Amino acid sequence: MNSSRWNILLFHLADVPFGVVVAQIMAITYPVEADAGVEVIQLPERLAFQDRKVTYLAPRIVWVKERDVGVMIDNPERIVSIDPAEIQFLADYTRSRRFPQAYFGVMLTPEGEPVLLLDLQGISVTETETETLDLLV
């Protein structure tokens, strides 16, 4: 495989398609007990899913490389390989105002579905709620 391509893990949460760069993932596990002493970020709370019911059908924790934190996702679907040139990166002024470190771009799957790309490292340091996800609806 060409090393200039990025592998993206795809999943849906509240009917919104997301992707994360596999290179940012240390491991994927089943959920851990709440008292295990590790931080697990809940995307609905971090990304401010307003008026959307989030039901986890097959919850998994994506563990962020070089951090002691995990991010709860639902039903990892598949990994696609894309050229970074296929990503529509978000403008710096947009990212800095409403969703500072959680999102970094949008891509299309081979089937043409738009996918919102999340920055796992950014999500793990973002302390404030981010913009609602109405931009994909």
Summary mean pLDDT of the chain: 81
Distance CA 94, CA 58 (A): 32
Residue 66: inside a domain, yes or no? yes
Residue 1: inside a domain, yes or no? no
Query: What is each CA distance from 14 to 18, 35, 44, 68, 103, in whole angstroms?
Result: 10, 26, 9, 26, 16
Residues 48, 53, 56, 57, Cα dihedral to 10° = -150
Residue 130: inside a domain, yes or no? yes
Q: In the chain, which residue ranges form alpha helices assigned H by DSSP?
A: 43-46, 92-97, 120-123
Distance CA 61, CA 39 (A): 11
Span 70-129, pLDDT tens digits: 999 999 999 999 999 999 987 664 444 444 567 788 999 999 999 999 998 888 764 443
At 6, list the tokens.
Answer: 């990025």
pTM (predicted TM-score)? 0.81
- In 3D space, the residue among 55, 54, 49, 39 whose CA is nearest the CA of residue 120 turns out to be 39
Number of domains in the chain: 1
Print the domain residue range for 79: 6-136
At 15, list the tokens.
Answer: 């009917």
C-beta of residue 116 within 8 angstroms of C-beta of residue 88: no
